[in-house]
Structure formats: C-alpha cells, structure tokens
Amino acid sequence: MLQQTQVATVIDYYNRWMQKWPTLQALAEASLEEVNELWAGLGYYSRGKRLQEAARKVVSELAGRMPRTAEDLQKLLPGVGRYTAGAIASISYGQATGVVDGNVIRVLCRLRCIGADSSSPAVIDRLWDMANALVDRSRPGDFNQALMELGATVCVPKAPLCEECPVKQHCRARRRVEKELGLASRRLLGTCPPVPDVEDCGVGGCPLCPPATEPWDSSLGVTNFPRKAAKKQPRAARTAACVLERRGRCGAPQYLIVQRPSSGLLAGLWEFPSLPLALGLQEEKQRELLADHLQAWTGRPVAAGGLRYVGEVIHIFSHIHQTYVVYSLPVDGDVTLDPVSSPSRWVTEEEFHASAVSTAMKKVLKACEKQRGEQNGSGKVSKRKRGAKPGGAGSRPTGTQLSLHAFFRTPSPQ
C-alpha cells in the first residue's frame, strides 16, 4: 500500500484491510471483487490482487507457512519483488539481508557519490551489494528500517539536514561539497591547481560516476546525487465513456456499470461502458463509434444523436495520460449489457462509490453531476458542443430523459 502512496492516505486503508482480513487464511478466502472494493482509490490495483493471490498460495500450497528467506519469498509468492522480499525477511524473520527502496537509493548514492543514472542496472546492482554488506547482522530489521527512515526524514530529496545526520562523517557527497568550497576560495585567491580532479575528468566510462555531460553543479551541493534518468513521458490515450442514467424507485438516479476483464489494466474493476479511441478523432466520429459499441453490446440500435456530450476528464495513471471523453444517456427503462462479454449492473450513487471503481470513474461521474447541477441551477439549455448538430442531445432541454424507444431508435441517414 505504501509503495506509491503516503502514510496519511494509507492508514485508513490499512486499518480497514486488517480488520476485514486479520489473517492470511481470511485473506485467502476473499474474492477479487472484495479486494478491489477495499483497494479502490489506492491505485495500482494489481498489487491488491497479487497480495490476495499470495495469501491463497501460502494457505493452499505452502500449508499456511510463509517462506522465511528473501530468496524463497521472491521465488514462491506472486507480486513479491526484491525489495518486499528483503523487507519481510529482515524485519519479520531476522534474516541479515539488505533492502533498497527510493530512500535507500538516495542515502547510498550520497554516501558514496554515485552519480550515474540511479535506475541503471549497474548502479542498482551495486546498491544492493552495498545494502547487503552494510546490514547489521544482529538487528537487520531495525537497521533496514533506520536506513529507510534516514532517507525519509534527514537525507531528504531537496534540502537534506546534513548537520543533523548521524552518518555525516562517512558521507562522500558532503566531503565533496567541502572540497568544492575549498577549491572555490582558492580560485578566488588564484592558487587553484591547473590539473583537474580525477572525479571531474569524465573519462574511463565508469558505470557509477556522473556522466561527463552532467558535471558537478555547485548550486546543488549534496543533491547532485543521485542522478535520475529523464522521466519517460506517459503515453497519451483517449477513451469514450458513457454514463447511462435512469431514475430509481424514489426518483434517485441509478447508473449502469460494467466489469472490466479480469486481467490487464484495472483488472476486475467496474466502470461506465467505455471504448478506447484512436487519437485525433472528431467529436462526431467518437460519438458514432460509442453508439455502435453500445449497440453491439445491447444488440439493439443506438442513435449517436442520443448521446449527450459532458466534457473531457483527464486522469494520469503512472504510464498513461488518459483522457475520457464523457457522454451521458438518460433512459427511462431497464438496459442491461450482454452478461457473457461484460457483467453489468445498475447502482445508486452510494452503491457506485462503495463498488470497486477507479478514481478516474469517480471523476467521470462527478463531471456528469456537475453538468446536471449547472443545468438544474440555471434552468438553461446546455451549450451545444462545437460541431455538434442542432437537434442532437447537446441541444435538448435539461433534465429531459430519452425514452427507451428514442434511445434504441435506428439512426436516421445523415
């Protein structure tokens, strides 16, 4: 839970998780649906899923006994990588093995002036060697937690507290800063040696030294380390999403949600009926494709003009810049999608938020509610989207629901 999210956010999730599944046996019996519901909002849903798979494996294949070494944990349990394995083995079982997380990378790179890209295999391997060599044999769990905590509280990314640091006398980055200051004053006095320092010459292709193209920047001090590779830009993706809405028994709105496939991005989560789009499509074309998609799902004709344009919602996944092009479709009867290809169900707003839905889908619903609120508040007709045809849903008076007949009517030839 903590790998991408801060402690303050995680506490509530953690407590609810431990209350619901206090033992491996209890977690092994949970369904993916329950796990996704509790995990909803934390992101990286595959982690919750793998955690539950790991519990199942321990219970069903390992006689309820957790592997106790970093090697076995990594080898036997799904979702357990090198860091998690090292953390469990050292903290829970006292194995003298190191851990390397983001905080440890920063501390070790500064302690040893490692200036090459800290995500390169050569640097990562070296950092693991160092962590394994440094770890205290008698209290490995405490040592590892202390090293991580040092990075989280003292040797922080932007303004490290070097004066308060308990390992400052061992720190080469700090020594380098002192040396640079000395050199700067000698330059001022004109007594600087003409021969460059071997650390600055940038020759020899050392896989751990800073590249010659990025020399020491005196304004950065110890934060010259670690160096990071340029961040890869997330891939752009567009998806059309349709909020089908009907009135429930007491007049409260209900929404149709469908379940995503059990593998891949956001596996098993629920969402509004959605369709990935090619980039650069005109609004009219997107609308047509979405209508065709709904038609294929329901087996009945769906008019593109019946879809009301809501707007665009942007959500950033770790590697995807996702834009949802949101439409809504008020209906006055029951609509279900083909249960074989996509399980679907109608939910109230409360049920929607309690379901295993992603944060992105919550934003989509919020956009719809905002539009409805604006329309109800002003009583005005919604603005027609540029390019939308007069007479389309965008120009229909507010609050008016399509009849089922209108929803499924065959689109008239253009």
Q: Which residues bind ligand SF4 (CB under 6 A)?
A: 107, 110-111, 154-155, 160, 162, 165, 167-168, 171, 173-174, 222
Q: What is the pairing mode between strands 344-348 and 274-277?
A: unpaired
Query: Are 216 and 180 a contacting pair, CB within 8 Å?
Result: yes
Q: How far is the CB of 122 from ligand SF4 (least distance, A)?
A: 21
Q: Which is nearer to ligand SF4, 178 or 334 (CB)?
A: 178
Q: Which is nearer to ligand SF4, 38 or 222 (CB)?
A: 222
Nearer to ligand SF4, 164 or 350 (CB): 164
Q: Is residue 267 helix, strand or coil? A: coil
Tell me whether residue 63 is exposed, middle or buried, using C-beta atoms within 10 angstroms of its C-beta: 0 to 12, 13 to 18, 19 or more.
exposed
Shortest distance in whole angstroms from residue 174 CB to ligand SF4: 4
3-state secondary structure 92-112: HHCCCCCCCCHHHHHHHHHHC
Minimal CA–CA distance to 140: which of 58, 69, 209? Answer: 69
* Residue number with CB closer to ligand SF4 (222 or 290): 222
Residue 135 C-beta: closest distance to ligand SF4, Å? 17
CB neighbourhood size of 293 (10 A): 17
CA of residue 77 relative to chain centroid, distance: 22
Residues 6+ apart with CB under 8 A from 359: 40, 41, 43, 315
Residue 112 C-beta: closest distance to ligand SF4, Å: 10
- Closest to ligand SF4 by CB, 27 or 111: 111
Reduced 3-state DSSP string for 356-395: CECHHHHHHHHHHHHHHHHHHHHCCCCCCCCCCCCCCHHH
Beta strand 270-271 pairing with 344-348: unpaired
Is 110 or 260 the residue whose CB approaches ligand SF4 more closely? 110
Q: CB 154 → ligand SF4: shortest distance, Å?
A: 5
CB of 294 to ligand SF4, least distance (A): 57
End-to-end CA distance of the chain: 52
Nearer to ligand SF4, 51 or 150 (CB): 150
Smallest distance from ligand SF4 to CB 369, Å: 47
CB of 161 or CB of 314, closer to ligand SF4: 161
Q: Which residues make Cβ contacts (< 8 Å) with residue 412, sequence separation at least 6?
A: 303
Q: What's the closest the beta carbon of residue 99 comes to ligand SF4, in angstroms?
A: 17
CB of 168 to ligand SF4, least distance (A): 4
Residues 276 and 177: their CA atoms lie apart, in Å, by 52
101 or 271: whose CB is closer to ligand SF4? Answer: 101
- Cβ contact 287:238 at 8 Å: no
Q: Which amino acid is at 158?
A: K
- Give me the least distance between CB of 109 and ligand SF4, in Å please: 9
For ligand SF4, which is the closer residue by CB, 165 or 242?
A: 165
Cis peptide before 226 (omega within 30 of 0): yes
